[in-house]
Structure 1
Amino acid sequence: MDLSRQLELARHLANLRREGRQQSGLAERLVPPDAETAYRVAQMVEEELGWDVVGWKIAGMKPGLQRQLRISTPIYGRVFAPLIKSSPARVEHIKQCSPIPEVEYQARLGADLPPRAKPYTVEEVGDAVASLHPGIELAECRFVHDAAFPPMPAIMADGSGSGTIVLGEPITDWRNRDIANQEVVLNCNGAERRRGSAAEAIDHPLVPLAWLANELSRTGIRLEAGQTISTGTLTGMLRPKPGETYIADFGPLGTVSATYN
């Protein structure tokens, strides 16, 4: 895929984001051939938009979700300003592009994690975390989920489904809490829909964060203080309907809610 086609795809994806539009399928000549090209296009989308990157999302940390997403490694995407909201949050369902609410821990950085030759350890990225929050990622996709849905590299170029992040209150003394094994319950309009835990889905929020720091470091990208990282779904993926309110109950660690008006 030559540079001119990469630029064409980046400009097209940037326009879809600006206009809040989706499309069915993607011309084969514009589908990135691999992850490296897809991420290069995603960076071009950032440049085309000129929007601030206020966070990142991670998906597919373990084989089960990787199989669902048709990937063999985790993936990531940028979260753009102003798409970080405090709980309780509301969004218009009609303006969301193939919305998916995902219950996730959100890590807000208090220090930069710049590119370097030596891989970051889980302990090092933990030291860079200013606060950890219960959260819900309101994922979106610029491509309609129909029979023409394009291969995964096209989705990665679009930010791997990045959308809005909803933050709960910071978890008090999170380093000394059993974050990994805390059961999380997702309710929709008062009815339980899913249960999960970090131990089952991502091991611990710091594990995907370390993966992201190293993946970005490899390509010369810095994680910055103040950015918020959505570390991966604990309860899988759901298709919301208008009028639904999702409340994620993290037990003693707090709750977070999002409503699709």
Structure 2
Amino acid sequence: MDLSRQRELARQLADLRREGRQQSGLDERLVPPDADTAYQVAQMVEEELGWDVVGWKIAGMKSGLQRQLRISAPIYGRVFAPLIKSSPASVEHARQCSPIPEVEFQARLGADLPPRAKPYTVDEVGDAVVSLHPGIELAECRFIHDAAFPPMPAIMADGSGSGTIVLGEPIADWRSRDVATQDVVLNCNSIERRRGSAAEAIDHPLVPLAWLANELSRTGIGLKAGQTISTGTLTGMLRPKAGETYVADFGPLGSVSATYS
């Protein structure tokens, strides 16, 4: 896929995101052939938009979700300003593109993790985290989920489903608490819809964060202080309806809510 086609796809995806709309399918000649090309296009989308990157999202850390997403490794995407909100938050359902609410731990960085030759360890990445939050990612996709839905590299070029991140209050003393095994419940209009834990879904929030630090180091991008990383769904995926309020209950670690108005 030559650079002119990459740029054509990037402009198309930037227009869709800027205008808050979707399309059905994608011209076969514009589908990236592999993950590296998809991420090159994603960087071009950032350039076309000219928006600040205030965070990142991660998906598919383990094999179960990878099978659902039709991938063989985790994927990531940019989170753009001003799409990080404090709980309780509300978004207009009609303006969301194939929305999916996902319960996730959100890590905010207090130090840069720049590109380097030596891989980052989980401990090093943990030292860079200034706060850990309960959160909900309101994922989106610029392609309609229909019979023409394009291959996964096109979705990765679009940011791997990145949308809005809703943050709860920082978890006090999170380093000394067993955040991985904490049972997390996703309620919709006060009815339980999903349940999970970091141990089951991602091992620990710092594990996907270390993976992302090394992926972005490899590609010469790096992570920056102040960015917020959504570390991967703990409760799977479901389709919201207009008027629904989702509350993620992290027990003693806090809670976070988002409404699709």
Q: TM-score, normalised by structure 1?
A: 1.00
For the residues of structure 1 that align with 2:21 and 2:187, how far apart are their CA atoms?
29
Within-5 A mapping of 1:150-229: 150-229=150-229
Find the residue that maps to 1:41 and give its secondary structure.
Answer: helix
Which residue does the alignment assign to 1:98? 98
Q: Are 2:246 and 1:259 equivalent residues in the alignment?
A: no
Which residue does the alignment assign to 1:83? 83
1:239 CA drift (Å)? 0.1
**Letter of the structure 1 residue corresponding to residue 168 of structure 2:** G
**Letter of the structure 1 residue corresponding to residue 164 of structure 2:** T
Which residue does the alignment assign to 2:71? 71
Which residue does the alignment assign to 1:143? 143
Which residue does the alignment assign to 2:245? 245
Which residue does the alignment assign to 1:16? 16
Question: For each residue in 1:188-234, what CA deviation from the matched residue of structure 2 results, as whole angstroms up to 9, or x when unmatched?
Answer: 00100010000000000000000000000000012000000000000
Identical residues among aligned pairs (%): 89
Which residue does the alignment assign to 2:114? 114
Find the residue that maps to 2:160 and give its secondary structure.
Answer: coil
Find the residue that maps to 1:137 and give its secondary structure.
Answer: strand
Which residue does the alignment assign to 1:7? 7
**Letter of the structure 2 residue corresponding to residue 194 of structure 1:** R
1:99 CA drift (Å)? 0.2
**Letter of the structure 2 residue corresponding to residue 46 of structure 1:** E
Find the residue that maps to 1:186 and give its secondary structure.
Answer: strand
For structure 2, the 5+ residue unaligned runs are: none
1:256 CA drift (Å)? 0.2
For the residues of structure 1 that align with 2:188 and 2:49, how far apart are their CA atoms?
34
Q: Are 2:34 and 1:34 equivalent residues in the alignment?
A: yes
For the residues of structure 1 that align with 2:84 and 2:73, how far apart are their CA atoms?
26
Question: For each residue in 1:100-123, what CA deviation from the matched residue of structure 2 results, as whole angstroms up to 9, or x when unmatched?
Answer: 000000000000000000000000
**Letter of the structure 1 residue corresponding to residue 192 of structure 2:** E
Within-5 A mapping of 1:122-137: 122-137=122-137
For structure 1, the 5+ residue unaligned runs are: none
Question: For each residue in 1:23-62, what CA deviation from the matched residue of structure 2 results, as whole angstroms up to 9, or x when unmatched?
Answer: 0000000000000000000000000000000000000000
For the residues of structure 2 that align with 1:33 and 1:247, how far apart are their CA atoms?
38
For the residues of structure 2 that align with 1:151 and 1:177, how far apart are their CA atoms?
40
For the residues of structure 1 that align with 2:257 and 2:218, how far apart are their CA atoms?
35
For the residues of structure 2 that align with 1:140 and 1:117, how far apart are their CA atoms?
33
Find the residue that maps to 2:79 and give its secondary structure.
Answer: strand
Question: For each residue in 1:158-208, what CA deviation from the matched residue of structure 2 results, as whole angstroms up to 9, or x when unmatched?
Answer: 000000000000000000010100000100001000100000000000000
For the residues of structure 1 that align with 2:135 and 2:203, how far apart are their CA atoms?
17
Give the length in aligned residue pairs: 261
Find the residue that maps to 2:7 and give its secondary structure.
Answer: helix
For the residues of structure 2 that align with 1:99 and 1:153, how far apart are their CA atoms?
19
**Letter of the structure 2 residue corresponding to residue 66 of structure 1:** Q
Find the residue that maps to 1:200 and give its secondary structure.
Answer: helix
For the residues of structure 2 that align with 1:82 and 1:196, how far apart are their CA atoms?
29
Find the residue that maps to 2:106 and give its secondary structure.
Answer: strand
1:12 CA drift (Å)? 0.5
Find the residue that maps to 1:57 and give its secondary structure.
Answer: strand
